[in-house]
Structure 1
């Protein structure tokens, strides 16, 4: 694959991703490793312009982490020392997260503080 221009259209983006899959495990400082690095840069630049990823809301981040960590409302409530109904009210957006709750989510579930504070 010859690299002589930036990615400009979706078809080029898709074909570049497919090429990257075939050389994904290339070792650094090899011909394929250098190609993977260049393709990664081109894909990143294209994605910045055409595939913006919106930041998660605090509630979306919490729901995502609960799913990732296999937690339900009851188990999260037990961990933090709250009632299931309090967790439910927060997850439904009817009550804001307290500072104590956000601090727990950051420290124990790994949710970035900037997301919790947004």
Structure 2
């Protein structure tokens, strides 16, 4: 397959099919080199045509907890405090660097999206 930019959905489909054929090719071989280049082309195309919206850290945390069947009690154990876990999930307190580190190390969550600034809830009663 001649290597060229991916410009259309048909180009994308064709390139994905070729990647499937090449999958598992040894690095440093002509097939492995072609696979590397095609993967880069697909990533570039998909980043521009199917962007993933940024998600707020708390939404990411909640989605992970739901997918992994983790509870607020699990988060409390990780952070060492039930009130702290509640404050985080209710956006009353921001995640700290230490919390992000624990979420990354213990739960495998990527740190980068967890360190994004996000809006906290403010107490409207006072």
The TM-score, its normalising length taken from structure 2, stands at 0.70
Could you say which residue in structure 1 is the equivalent of 2:53? 54
Rounded Cα–Cα distance in structure 2 between residues aligned with 1:106 and 1:86 = 13
Aligned twin of 1:78: 77
Judging changes above 3 Å, is the alpha-carbon distance between structure 1 residues 76 and 115 closer, same or farther for their aligned structure 2 residues? Answer: closer
Q: Please show how residues 23-102 of structure 1 align to structure 2 within 5 Å.
A: 23-67=22-66, 71-83=70-82, 87-88=85-86, 90-93=88-91, 95-97=92-94, 101-102=95-96
Gaps in structure 2 of 5+ consecutive residues: 105-109, 118-126
Give the 3 Å change call, closer, same or farther, for CA 92–9 of structure 1 in structure 2.
farther
**Aligned residue number for residue 101 of structure 2:** 107
Say whether the 8 Å CA contact 1:106–1:113 is kept in structure 2: no
CA–CA separation in structure 1 for the residues paired with 2:98 and 2:64: 13
- Structure 1 segments of 4+ aligned residues over 6 angstroms from their partners: none
Using the TM superposition, give the Cα deviation of residue 78 of structure 1 relative to its aligned residue in structure 2, in angstroms.
2.1
RMSD: 2.5
- Structure 1: runs of 5 or more not aligned: none
Count of paired positions: 112
Matches of 2:68 and 2:97 in 1, distance apart? 18
